[in-house]
Amino acid sequence: MPTLATDVDVLVRFGRALADPIRCRLLLTLRDAPAHPADLAEALGISRTRLSNHLACLRDCGLVVAVPLGRRIRYELADPRLGHALDDLRTAVVTVDQARSCPDADDQKCC
């Protein structure tokens, strides 16, 4: 039986999901409308296997749900408020020092 996550747990799960560019793109795509895996893979230009791994992560984080429709599965945001949260985060003003990278970025620029 699903349980409600604590405030900190919600932020950790959201952060984990947003830590990968493909998962960010997936969430933004699902923010616009629910979609089937084949359509998501094509829209993102990735393999179905790779997509499946990212969808599993987003499901584990509690951010997306799989909705059975006959013999097919459709994915959507677990809560419509997640779309609003994504919009708020996407439009937030951040200050970026191009000479610095994130500590966890494996020698890559953060953003």
Whole-number Å distance between alpha carbons of 91 and 31? 14
Structural domains of the chain in order of their starting residue, each with its CATH number: 7-91 (1.10.10.10)
Contact 68, 34 (CB under 8 A): no
Encode pLDDT of 68-82 as tens digits: 999 999 999 999 999
pLDDT of residue 9: 84
pLDDT of residue 105: 54
Whole-number Å distance between alpha carbons of 65 and 86? 17
pLDDT of residue 4: 66
Its pTM stands at 0.79
Whole-number Å distance between alpha carbons of 95 and 101? 12
Residue range 46-52: average pLDDT?
96
Whole-number Å distance between alpha carbons of 27 and 15? 12
Encode pLDDT of 19-37 as tens digits: 999 999 999 999 999 999 9
pLDDT of residue 44: 96
pLDDT of residue 3: 65
| Amino acid found at 50 | R
| Higher per-residue pLDDT: 5 or 6 | 6
